[in-house]
Amino acid sequence: MKNTIARLAGALLALTLTTGLAAAQSKVTIAVGGGACLCYLPTVLAKQLGEYDKAGLNVELVDLKGGSDALKAVLGGSADVVSGYFDHCVNLAAKKQELQAFVVYDRYPGLVLVVAPSHTADIKSVKDLAGKKVGVSAPGSSTDFFLKYLLKKNGLDPAGTAVIGVGLGATAVAAMEQGQIDAAVMLDPSVTVLQGSHPDLRILSDTRTQKDTLEQFGGEYPGGALYSTAAWVAGHEKETQALTNAMLSTLAWIHSHSPEEIMAKMPDEMVGKNKDLYLAALKNTIPMFSETGKMDPKGADAVLAVFSVGSPEVANAKIDVSKTFTNRFVDQAKKTTGSAK
């Protein structure tokens, strides 16, 4: 009898372990729009902390050159979820493609309009960019639309400024230092790298900060988020909720630990050899990260306004921006775990 009970207990234990393993093997592929960019740090950090595993997911991160490539991966079916800028959800809505963000990790976009070191004396405001050459990551990108918005807001015709694609990272820094462009819209860690060599670097707009973001847009302007097609979200609610839970836990961890502790968890290849520079950039970036994971509806409206300036297609599409995001998974996490504010 004892042997029978022991065998039954063993079988039940094996079944429990197998069931748990099966649950943990729910596979999700996330396409990241440039993992080395600090704006995407929460997605990478969640993997480093084991938060996806804790949420019952086997997550594969696929690092791509930019947000548009990550979006193509999801639309093409080679990835399930994008870790990229929310504005793609709005832009694609004009093309009748339904994308939906379900957790926001950047409450500010982190876009910084910087004057080239050789032009600090003659470019003192956005108005001075008329007729100048301004670098963006690529024409038609988030950086490009942000530039056009700032130009128009300051009474300039965006067509009167030459837009030049200089990429992100080292290529953008080189273009600025070599005088190929007069200014650029950049992201960290590149901005901090440039400041390290040029302490008097002139910054015309810095949306890494709450002050500038609210001043420019009247509310939070969401940057990085996890999003997918509306069809995938509707058909994978369990996975979507698990991803949301993992991201909220990661955001809570970020805001309860020091920049040094955060850096220590990041992959060595992303930190690089100059740890002091990475740490400085990280300190500049941390205020960007959301504490709640929720979309600010005013922020979503601001994204639509920005893209409407740069794209007649978006302006004329009569987009219902409320369909491009949902807060219900964050709200559910708050109800069940209390992990969101």
Looking up residue 183, the CATH number of its domain turns out to be 3.40.190.10
Check whether residue 317 and residue 267 sit in a common domain. yes
Check whether residue 203 and residue 232 sit in a common domain. no
Check whether residue 225 and residue 105 sit in a common domain. yes
Check whether residue 134 and residue 102 sit in a common domain. no
Check whether residue 97 and residue 116 sit in a common domain. no
Check whether residue 243 and residue 259 sit in a common domain. yes
Category of 99 on φ-ψ map: left (φ > 0), alpha (ψ -120 to 50) or beta: beta
Check whether residue 232 and residue 328 sit in a common domain. yes
Mean pLDDT of 182-197: 92
pLDDT of residue 19: 40
Check whether residue 201 and residue 297 sit in a common domain. no
Final residue before a domain boundary, out of 193, 217, 241: 217
pLDDT tens column, 202-240:
999 999 888 888 888 877 789 999 999 999 999 999 999
Looking at the chain, which runs of residues are DSSP E strands? Answer: 26-32, 57-63, 81-85, 99-104, 112-115, 133-136, 162-165, 183-186, 203-206, 224-229
Distance in angstroms (rounded) separating the CA atoms of residues 75 and 303 = 21
Cβ neighbours of residue 21 closer than 8 Å, sequence gap 6 or more: none
> What domain count does the chain have?
2
Check whether residue 135 and residue 203 sit in a common domain. yes
The range of the structural domain enclosing residue 199 comes to: 111-217
Distance in angstroms (rounded) separating the CA atoms of residues 204 and 145 = 16
Of residues 152 and 311, more confidence is placed in 152
pLDDT of residue 2: 44
Check whether residue 264 and residue 313 sit in a common domain. yes
Residue 16 resides in a domain? no
User: Strand 99-104 vs strand 57-63: parallel, antiparallel, or unpaired?
Assistant: unpaired
Check whether residue 267 and residue 318 sit in a common domain. yes
Arithmetic mean of pLDDT over the chain: 88
Check whether residue 159 and residue 261 sit in a common domain. no
Cβ neighbours of residue 312 closer than 8 Å, sequence gap 6 or more: none
Final residue before a domain boundary, out of 202, 217, 232: 217
Q: Which of 108, 74, 111, 107 is nearest to 89 (CA)?
A: 74
